[in-house]
Amino acid sequence: MDKLKVLILLPDGISLKNFAYSNFYKKALKSGFEACFWNATPFELGDLGFNEVKLPKPKLYKLTDVYKTARKHIELNIYRKKFSNTAFSTYKFPFNYSTPKKAFKSALCRALIFFNNSEKGLLKIRTKIIQFERKTLYYKQCSDCLKANKPSILFCTNQRPVIAIAPITAAKDLGIPTATFIFSWDNLPKATMVVETDYYIVWSDYMKDELLRYYPYIEEDKVYVTGTPQFESIFGEHITPKDAFFEQYKLDHSKKYICYSGDDVTTSPDDPQYLEDTAKALRELNTRGHNLGLIFRRCPVDFSNRYDAVLENFKEVITPINPKWTKLNEQWDTILPKKEDLHLLKETVLHSEMVINLGSTMVFDYVIENKPCAYINYDVANKKLQDWSVKKIYKYLHFESMPTKDCVVWLDNPKEIAQKLEQALTNNEDHIKAASDWFKIINQHPVDEASNNIVLAIKDIIKR
């Protein structure tokens, strides 16, 4: 009997660390699958020992992107009305009128929204997107590739990329079962569902409830709860001992280090100021008898020089340890992680005392190791963007999963950072317990079983 073959669609580099660098591929092979990546990234996965076929060069139908944007806006309008919550509107990106072509597309998109701003209209838009993609050469090439490879299932590792529509549609038209993984904890309220598959794989029961709430046409028994491979690397065997890690990155062996985890410029335009405020707080603590340093791990897709002045002015406090990602060109989705970064992230967590950031999942990387997290929670005096506010960030709907405010240490103004950090370093049991409870809400436990759970879900889907 031929082996069952899972074709793993990598529509962009975001999913590399979840499905190429995690335990997933090994678990799939061990389970008896023939596993193959359908690779749209510029990375040569064959060089890393993976079985791969290259996705045909994507060329979308000329109206697909416009209809995709209209779909997102209509869904958010429906959610806002249905759930009486204005937070959904904050997920919309402004229309672009900078060139005649972009202005035309924006005008067309707004017209589509106006005339289809209902459940019935949304169904029309969704149907049109699939019809458009069926007309493309790209769809035919995907169909030919599927016929040649004969997979038992097509598993898409990310529900967001528009280039995944044609391959998913081609598979469904050929009678090949399809499934997708909901990539991130904040994706569903943002109306980021671009692909429509037969089955869905999610992090948690909480996320399953979200999926069924926002997409009522999805049947409950078509959703599998597995956890995410995102946090599995923390359980890996590759560990650089603390002394060697300190030596490698020129850290002071006599100091204890806090990690400042940076955000991208869109999420946190004032991040350099937050880093400076934190460095000042550590200077203050060191004058009071502490011996602390700050590891700065920038956002992996931020290659800007916006932190340079702070790093120079506080070089006795801050040591930058940059993520190991590769920038292939200026597009954000071609900034790709190296496998070594999983080890670096794990070692940074293990060899630092706590983490500071603005609302990221790093809280969970640290709570796995029973370490606390502090969230930045104030606006700076001279904001880069007047219409941006930290209050907007914490109104995002995925933070409603937080069972108590004690899950993190809240840094509500720069003057209290020193005191709050001092407390967090010495009395953090309540925060760690609360963060651990939060983690159990947003991600299936045991955490290190996610890849195995996804393989089992795929096997069950094929049986069905």
Beta strands in 12-167 (DSSP E): 34-39, 52-54, 153-156
Residue-wise pLDDT tens digits, 406-417: 999 999 999 999
Amino acid at 22: S
Cβ-Cβ contacts under 8 Å for 306 (sequence gap 6 or more):
265, 271, 272
Cβ-Cβ contacts under 8 Å for 224 (sequence gap 6 or more):
179, 199, 200, 201, 202, 453, 454, 457, 460, 461
Residue-range domains of the chain with CATH: 5-60+136-228+447-463 (3.40.50.2000), 64-132 (no CATH), 237-442 (3.40.50.2000)
Q: Are strands 34-39 and 5-10 parallel, antiparallel or unpaired?
A: parallel
Beta strands in 102-152 (DSSP E): none
In the chain, the largest separation of any two C-alpha atoms, in whole Å, equals 71
pLDDT in 10s for each residue of the chain, 464 residues:
468 999 999 998 888 889 998 899 999 999 999 999 999 988 888 888 899 999 999 999 999 999 999 999 999 999 999 999 999 999 999 999 999 999 999 999 999 999 999 999 999 999 999 999 999 999 999 999 999 999 999 999 999 999 999 999 999 999 999 999 999 999 999 999 999 999 999 999 999 999 999 999 999 999 999 999 999 877 766 788 999 999 999 999 999 999 999 999 999 999 999 999 999 999 999 999 999 999 999 998 888 999 999 999 999 999 999 999 887 665 655 677 888 898 999 999 999 999 999 999 999 999 999 999 999 999 999 889 988 999 999 999 999 999 999 999 999 999 999 999 999 999 999 999 999 999 999 999 999 999 999 999 999 999 98
Beta strands in 84-206 (DSSP E): 153-156, 178-181, 199-202
Q: Are strands 223-225 and 335-337 parallel, antiparallel or unpaired?
A: unpaired
Q: Distance of alpha carbon 367 from its chain centroid, rounded?
A: 18
Please check whether residue 9 is in contact with residue 52, taking contact to mean a CB–CB distance below 8 angstroms.
Answer: no
Please check whether residue 317 is in contact with residue 293, taking contact to mean a CB–CB distance below 8 angstroms.
Answer: yes
The helix/strand/coil state of 23 is coil
Amino acid at 372: P
Please check whether residue 15 is in contact with residue 335, taking contact to mean a CB–CB distance below 8 angstroms.
Answer: no
How would you class 56 by CB atoms within 10 Å of its CB: exposed for 0-12, middle for 13-18, buried for 19 or more? buried
Read off the tokens for 112: 């589509």
Residue 121 dihedral angles phi and psi, to the nearest 5°: -65, -35
Alpha-carbon distance of 324 to 237, in angstroms, equals 19
Q: Give the closest residue to 45 by CA, choosing from 17, 18, 20.
A: 20
Q: Which residue do the tokens 């707004």 mark?
A: 110
Alpha-carbon distance of 154 to 146, in angstroms, equals 9
